[in-house]
Amino acid sequence: MRAWAVVETGKPLQEIELPTPVPTGRQVLLEVTHAGVCHSDLHIWEGEYDLGSRGKMKLSDRGVKLPLAMGHETVGRVVSWGPEAEGQGLEVGQTRIVFPWVGCGTCARCRAEEDNMCANGRSLGVFQNGGYATHILVPEPRHLVDPGTLDHALAATYACSGITVYSAINKLMPMDPDDPIVLVGAGGLGLQAIAVLKALGHRRIVSVDVSAEKLEAAKAAGATDTVDARGDDVTARLMATCGGPVMAVVDLVNGSATARFAFDALGKGGKLVQVGLFGGELSLPLPLMAMKAVTVQGSYVGNPKELRALVKIAQGGALPPIPITREPLAHADSALMRLRAGQVTGRIVLTAQAV
């Protein structure tokens, strides 16, 4: 199979030949048709995460090995499967969304379909080759979801940006539909979060970003309010926009600056859900944690149950589409660099030439 892979961190992706996997056990082999380009791919490409005063965390220390075909927002056609996957409703040529956040497959978390919380994660596109390739090997049939009549490029984004924001938003619920929910970041995740909130019937959505263009895209997607995150008084402007202290924030950037203004804007009993991997650290005033009874909670992608639920919502027509730009798989490196430069509104989805 061909792959557009990270061969050396921080260097251009290279087109390489790799052995096409032969599925065993419950594994399923798919031919990739669509692969989303996610901001998380940039961290993998860079080879490290910024942990603030704790320094850098190298992905090699987590077990990431090169060369690696990234890509964790994948749709493909079923090609073949192992003998233990017989009788699971598989047919050659079926189009399926791939759930990428797989674990060991045997622990209690995996058996409960909370694969993303497995202590021995084996995520596709991170620890195993993902969608920036002509083929992808999936551990078992339950990691495949039928997109039905959904646009396949859009459906690919649900495997990461979709379930990531869906899972994060669910951690805030229930909330009154007219109470403001703040979304920090108006990129692909931010626009997807607006779409999910609208699908869930939420009416007050506040989008925060440093890009005027992205804030305009957020307005077009359905944000009721926007806040420019440039300057030193973001917390005050955010609270003024929301009509007072904020009860719910999803930080899709999650850098030192965004975490600080988001935390400072929280009202008594408020919750900050941290999603992004931009990096840095947050120093918390411990007495205020107790006095204000606030919650700071991390949220890591989502699980197969959430992917199925989100796809069902989308198939029902309630989930507005985000902007999609299609590029050939062979343009993986240039697409990644456009994302790095902040030149992407919505999502770039790489497509196979035969699609």
> What local confidence, expressed as pLDDT, does residue 316 receive?
95
Q: Residue length, the chain? A: 355
Residue 15: φ, ψ to 5° = -80, 120
Q: Per-residue pLDDT tens for 211-223?
A: 999 999 999 999 9
Res. 355: pLDDT tops 90: no
147-171 average pLDDT score: 97
Q: Across all residues in the chain, what is the average pLDDT?
A: 96
% of the chain exceeding 90 in pLDDT:
96
Homologous superfamily of 2-159+302-351 in CATH? Medium-chain alcohol dehydrogenases, catalytic domain (3.90.180.10)
In this prediction the pTM is 0.95
Q: Is the dihedral of CA 286, 288, 291, 293 positive or negative?
A: negative
CB 53 within 8 Å of CB 16: no
Q: 61 pLDDT band (50/70/90 cuts)? A: confident
Task: List the domain boundaries for the chain.
Answer: 2-159+302-351, 172-298
Q: Per-residue pLDDT tens for 320-338?
A: 999 999 999 999 999 999 9
> What local confidence, expressed as pLDDT, does residue 353 receive?
74
Q: 236-245 as b/e, with b when 16 or more CB fall inside 10 Å?
A: ebbbebbeeb
183-208 average pLDDT score: 96
Phi/psi region, residue 25 (left: phi>0; alpha: psi -120 to 50; beta: rest), is: left
CB 193 within 8 Å of CB 170: no
Q: Closest Cα partner for 141 from 186, 82, 200?
A: 82
Q: Closest Cα partner for 129 from 66, 46, 175?
A: 66
> What local confidence, expressed as pLDDT, does residue 288 receive?
93
> What local confidence, expressed as pLDDT, does residue 330 receive?
96
Q: Per-residue pLDDT tens for 221-268?
A: 999 999 999 998 999 999 999 999 999 999 999 999 999 999 999 999
Gyration radius of the chain's alpha carbons: 20
Q: Per-residue pLDDT tens for 8-26?
A: 999 999 999 999 999 999 9
Fold of 172-298: Rossmann fold (3.40.50)
Res. 40: pLDDT tops 70: yes
CATH topology agreement for domains 2-159+302-351 and 172-298: no
Res. 354: pLDDT tops 80: no
Distance separating alpha carbons of residues 229 and 3, to the nearest angstrom: 38
> What local confidence, expressed as pLDDT, does residue 37 receive?
97
Q: Per-residue pLDDT tens for 105-138?
A: 999 999 999 999 999 999 999 999 999 999 999 9
Res. 45: pLDDT tops 80: yes
68-81 average pLDDT score: 98
Q: What count of Cα atoms within 13 Å lies in the side-chain half-sphere of residue 158?
A: 31
> What local confidence, expressed as pLDDT, does residue 62 receive?
87
272-280 average pLDDT score: 95
